[in-house]
Amino acid sequence: LRCSCKNNSNLPQVVSEYEMSVDGFGTTTLNPFNFISGCEASISLQKRVLSFQGGSFFAEGRNWIGFENVDFGKDGSDEITIPVFSFSDEVHINLWDGSPDSADGKLLDSLTYNAKSIYNHYQPNTWKLSRRLFGIHTICFETNDKLSMKGFSFSKTPKAFAKLSSLDANCITGDMFKKTTDAIQNIGNNVSIEFSDMDFGTGGTNRIMLQGKAPFSANTIQLRFNSQNENPEEHIFVIEAEKCTEYKSFYFDFSKKITGLQKVTFIFLPGSNFDFKDFQFF
């Protein structure tokens, strides 16, 4: 804590400092739905260099900066906006979940930034990511190009109406299934794939798009909604996915509109052999 007193002059005449510490407040997190300045990076490959307007400067050659404890919450996000200044009209940025140099770091996407260069002027680009992020992550930006990155922000969209990968499930139970990089495959009898905290609001949903394939025969899937409100209700719909050897988008309409906060479960019935990629409610 620092205090100063001017004593009726234009400049401080007395400056006093008091050192203090606080604890018990838990872990500080960053909100990705508000703009996060480049200067807020907490880790980096090289010494961090401040750029104009609170941005972060990257010299030519490999470098990365990272932001720890970025909290995407239960709804998550899959769209990022990054304002950049560069003397080049095109630069390349790798977006990482975790540190690029750590064993558990995962490359989310390789982003190509395009904008006609305007001297000392940040211009934003927006990208749709290959997967949605939930909860707390370390987000890192890696590049070999010379540029200034003002910061970044993620778009806030409701999970319930987003296009969700089957791999985003909160819980998967059953004996017969295989996770791949972009799908859950070979889903067999009595496998349940659960998505919680799906808030359909007052407008609700009465339609779903499900992308998958049933290579051997038609599959019967039970779609179950369990309300997470004060008055629990359960609604069950049966959907049929016809035989197909390539991924296909299946559309199904519900006889009743589903509203409010729900837990959504896909239950694969006897005889199933299904590859499940993603889905979206409308």
* Final residue in a domain of this structure, among 157, 184, 199: 157
What is the DSSP annotation of 216-267? SS-EEEEEEEEE-SSS--EEEEEEEE--EEEEEEEEEEEEEEE-SEEEEEEE
**pLDDT truncated to tens, each residue of the chain (282 aa)?**
889 999 999 988 899 988 888 888 778 999 999 999 999 999 999 999 999 999 999 999 999 999 999 999 999 999 999 999 999 999 999 999 999 999 999 999 999 999 999 999 999 999 999 999 999 999 999 999 999 999 999 999 999 999 999 999 999 999 899 999 999 999 999 999 999 999 999 999 999 999 999 999 999 999 999 998 878 899 999 999 999 999 999 999 999 999 999 999 999 999 999 999 999 999
Report if residue 5 sits inside a domain.
Answer: no
Residues 46 and 142 in one domain: yes
- Whether residues 139 and 230 share a domain: the answer is no
116 and 178 in a single domain? The answer is no
Structure tokens at 43: 């880790």
Number of domains in the chain: 2
Residues forming a β-bridge with 232: none
Same domain, 49 and 118: yes
Backbone angles phi, psi at 166, to 5 degrees: -60, -25
For position 248, which CATH number holds? 2.60.120.260
| Whether residue 107 sits in one domain with residue 134 | yes
CB atoms within 10 A of CB 75: 17
**Cβ of 88: how many Cβ atoms within 10 Å?**
14
Domain membership of residue 231 as a residue range: 161-281
Same domain for 251 and 190: yes
Burial class (CB in 10 A: 0-12, 13-18, 19+), 35: middle
> What are the structure tokens assigned to 278, written together?
């993603």
**Same-domain status, 105 and 165:** no
Residues 239 and 177 in one domain: yes
